[in-house]
Each structure stands twice: as structure tokens, then as C-alpha cells.
Amino acid sequence: MPKLKRKSRKLKSEVKTSTRKILKGSGTYLITLPKDFVKSVGLEAGDEVGVVYDHILKVIPMKEKI
């Protein structure tokens, strides 16, 4: 019986990093989101995102479940 060759699919996943400054406005702190991130997850100005934090801050598009 001939051996079957398995094709492995590698998911292309690239972790991108950037540096952001913390801004202050209207009595709160603000950071900007990278434009390529916003476009890649289909967000627009005015959309809501979830924020999960401990010692790391994670921004989650509300289309995903927290």
C-alpha cells in the first residue's frame, strides 16, 4: 500500500508590536490603535471594543467574545 503524503498547513500568524504614548484628555487616559489593526478587524471610528487587563492590556473587537 502506498504511503500518503500529508500536507501540513501553516497558519500565517504574525505578532506585530508598536509603541504608543499615553495621552490625557477629558479627565481620562487615551491610547491610539494602529491603523492596520483597526482595518484588519473591520473596526471604524465610534465602534466599541472590549478591554481586558491585568499586567497586560488586551483590546478585543466586540465581534469576538471576551
Delimit the domains of the chain by residue range: 34-66
Q: Is the pLDDT of residue 9 over 80?
A: no
Q: What confidence category does residue 1 fall into, taking pLDDT thresholds of 50, 70 and 90? A: low
Q: Report the 3 state secondary structure along the chain.
A: CCCCCCCCCCCCCCCCCCCCCCEEECCEEECCCCHHHHHHCCCCCCCCEEEEECCCEEEEECCCCC
Percent of the chain with pLDDT over 70: 77
What average pLDDT does the segment 16-23 reach? 92
pLDDT of the residue at 11: 55
Q: In what helix (H) or strand (E) does residue 36 lie, and over which residues does it extend?
A: helix 35-40
The pTM (predicted TM-score) of the whole model is 0.64
